Structure 1
Amino acid sequence: MMHACTRLRRGAVTATAAGMLIVPLAGGTAFAAPTSVPGAVTATSPPGPSPSGSDVRTLTPDVTRQLDETVQRVMREAHVPGVTVGLWTPGQGQYVKSFGVADKIGAGKMTPDLYMRIGSETKTFTVTALLELVDQGKVSLDDPIGKYVDDVPNGDTITLRQLAGMRSGLFNYSQDDGFFKALTSDPQRTFTPQQLLGYAFKHPVLFPPGQKFSYCNTNLILLGLVVEKVSGQSLADYIHNNVLEPAGLNHTLFPAGTEFPQPHAQGYTDQTANGQIADTADWNPSWAWAAGAMISNLDDLRAWARTVATGTLPDGRTLISPATQKERLTTPPTPIPGAGYGLGIFNVQGWIGHNGSLPGYESLTIHLPSAQATLVVLLNTDINYKGTEPSTLFGDAITKIVTPQHVFNLPAEPAAR
């Protein structure tokens, strides 16, 4: 089993295409205002245009009540301090609520406007940057990585496509014991991309390029270096100028160090040297770089979810060409039934997007094109519950209610050294 994230010493992700099944709408009104829940913070905005599909249940008062109860149940069971859930189903309703606390000491409430670390959702931005360069004719997905980065094991045969699709066979640096000790002994230290690759390249390759799927943060570090070399800009600058600004994502950033805009939630992890729970808001995410360092908020991720899944911006423009978007969404099977992984993106039972996990934070941003539905979940812990990431628990429980024939059921793999 696998999980899509940037966990320390843990393997990671997956996804595949599943057929679109139509789910009948529930009876009742087309849109119901969220019910009042003790301790919940609610944000509302009018629903958008009606979708052509109908594979999501109408958000009646009954469905809203089910969501309230389910989210709070998962919180209690998985010991999640705070969570924000955004569900948008154009023409049928929306659900935007925060529960719990953003800071266990200060007891500040979780709210929908908080900045959060988004972990491996960063991969969707890095790969978008790469695909823009593909469209410009500056790189080819079938170029070997050795054309751009020296001393990569199998660098003359591993292609950029295989890196983006998690089929390189390279070792995942975040599973290296030396890396884990270095990070947890000084969580505020800065890692360079070359240092991260050093942890990976001292291990033998796992399999020949393209032979099978294996989620690996090392792949994205290499693709980040490709973007920098070809564009002549830092990865952070290229993504800001060519992805974030055109997409209108004004609350998403690639931090240079430990900076974290206000307001933000504190994050809680057990990924520490002694296994004790620690607050990670001031940890330096440079160790995840192109694989997981970025920060965003609910509204930006809502917009980004549809752009990644459809290739289209709200105003109809595109960041990458339709032909390249089609390649991105080609999601070969993974070891998980009903899940496949394309180019920096997964498809789990029809839900397209990515999740993320960084010490103290988890996120899930997915879009169901058949219903034009979007789900974003943001929480301030990455502590697994019975071997499963809490973001997956929320995704599974929520989609069982609103899209019962498209359940986001991405299991986690056990901790690996």
Structure 2
Amino acid sequence: MPLPLTSEQLDAAIAAESFSGVLTIDVGAERTLERCEGFAHRALGVPHTPATRISAASGSKGFTALAIMRLVEEGVLGVDDPVRPILGDDLPLVDGAVTIEHLLTHTSGIGDYLDEDADADIDDYVFSVPLHTLAETEGFLPALEGFPQKFPPGERFAYCNGGYVILALIAERVSGRGFHELVQTEVCDRAGLIGSAFLRSDDLPADAALGYLEETGDRTNVLHLPVRGNGDGGMYLTADDLHRFWNALLDGRIVSPETLVEMTRPRFDVPTEHKRYGMGFWLGRRSSSLILEGYDAGASFRSTHDPETRTTVTVLGNSSEGAWPVIFALADAMDGTTKGKFPDED
């Protein structure tokens, strides 16, 4: 696949918000573009490499959905199962009609502990509980409490972070295994991923990038996000692993082809995002592209895969805004549009 923009245009997109991170394009087994910009650790001058582990924020929701669907394939769960019996006395404001499928497709209508529609800046302090308590799934329960149902389950699409934490909680309770272990064994290991994992932000290995709030300076996101990500985000991924992931997914090594068809069936057109949604995956609005995307304090990410050409375009950024000009500049290659992230784009 030829690069859909000149090197000068790509350089301009990289410079627009001082992109820091890793950009790769892989076509089949061939890497056709690789750019590593900026630093994984600014103060120490540690440069990015294609193997740098960078937080994908909400991009890891696809991994949560796959872990759930592995349990469905094993007969431990059903997509039509109500979640209320599994939650028991916890989270009593979750409607009794909410099912696993509602949570997977963002149609549960439950109140969200991280409301995407709230008028907040990306570097605001939005959590109501101490971040060090948000390391294991059960530890998120106090943060999820007290949010009334917004609309009846199944009525419409409304992106919900809390729903994916509840999915992680459900996965643990029905399997008897920790959520992070489930993702590792049922998704990462099956896909042959080498470096991707849920890491603690206060205990990062040398090959993991710090997440920076701004495009300059050394201030990180460690006081803005859970100390370890969970069902709704925060997994650290590598560009190399992402191409392995997409190929494994399409080759039926994570879930069956039939399950993948169900997960990537367009359920909703989401005009404000210029995309469609399946189960855990965004979908191209006018193409067959599969998309993982994340945006958070210190993280800006999108990986898009074209199943027809086995082309993966990945942009992993370790600052809040730096990756978006690059993502938009490359979007034409996959979906014929530069629209992609912000609902107020022209």
Q: With structure 2 as the length reference, what TM-score do the two structures score? A: 0.84
2:198 counterpart of 1:246: no
**1:135 to partner: Cα distance:** 0.7
Letter in 1 for 2:103: L
The one-letter amino acid paired with 1:89 is V
Q: Please give the secondary structure, in 2, of the residue aligned with 1:173.
A: coil
CA distance 1:134–1:261, change in 2 (3 Å): same
Q: CA deviation at 1:381?
A: 0.5
- Of residues 382, 397, 414, the one that matches 2:329 is 397
Aligned to 2:220: 279
SS in 2 for 1:375: strand
Cα distance per residue 1:260-312 (max 9 Å; x no partner): 22223232116xxxxx982236876346411112112111112113344x3x2
The counterpart of 1:345, out of the listed 281, 287, 302, is 281
Asked whether 1:107 is paired with 2:42, we answer no
Aligned to 1:328: 263
* Whole-angstrom distance in 2 between the partners of 1:164 and 1:305: 19
Q: Does structure 1 conserve the Cα–Cα contact (< 8 Å) formed by 2:281 and 2:291?
A: yes
Aligned to 1:205: 149
Q: Mind listing any 5+ residue stretches in structure 2 that lack a counterpart?
A: none
Secondary structure of 2:271's aligned partner: coil
Aligned to 2:13: 74
Offset, 1:189: 5.2
Change (3 A) 1:93 1:126: closer
Q: Does 1:261 align with 2:181?
A: no
Change in CA separation of 1:132 and 1:97 when aligned onto 2, cut-off 3 Å: same
Q: Answer whether contact 1:364 1:377 (CA < 8 A) is retained.
A: yes
Structure 2 counterparts to residues 59-70 of structure 1, below 5 A: 66-70=5-9
1:348 partner amino acid: G
Q: Cα gap change, 1:102/1:171 in structure 2, threshold over 3 Å: closer, same or farther? A: same
What letter corresponds to residue 294 of structure 1 in structure 2?
M
Structure 1 gaps of 5+ residues are 1-55, 271-275, 384-389
The CA deviation at 1:74 is 1.9
CA contact (8 A) 1:188 1:282 kept: no
User: Which amino acid in structure 2 is aligned with residue 225 of structure 1?
Assistant: L
Q: How many residues align?
A: 332
CA contact (8 A) 2:52 2:238 kept: yes
Change over 3 Å in CA distance of 1:264–1:255 after alignment to 2: closer
For the residue of structure 2 that corresponds to 1:229, the secondary structure is helix
Identity fraction in percent: 21
Deviation at 1:395, TM superposition (A): 2.2
* Higher Rg of the two aligned structures: 1
Distance 1:209 1:396 in 2: 33
Q: What is the distance in 1 between the residues matched to 2:32 and 2:290? A: 19
CA distance in 2, matches of 1:68, 1:263: 28
Distance 1:334 1:392 in 2: 22
Query: What is the alpha-carbon distance in structure 2 between the residues aligned to residue 92 and residue 79 of structure 1?
Result: 27
Residue 183 (structure 1) shift: 4.2
For 1:409 and 1:182, how far apart are their aligned partners in 2? Answer: 27
Following superposition, the deviation at residue 188 of structure 1 comes to: 4.9
Mapping of residues 209-220 of structure 1, within 5 Å: 209-220=153-164
Aligned-residue CA RMSD in angstroms?
3.0
Q: Distance in 2 between matches of 1:181 and 1:281?
A: 11
Question: In 2, Cα distance between the equivalents of 1:358 and 1:376?
Answer: 17
Aligned AA (1:267): G
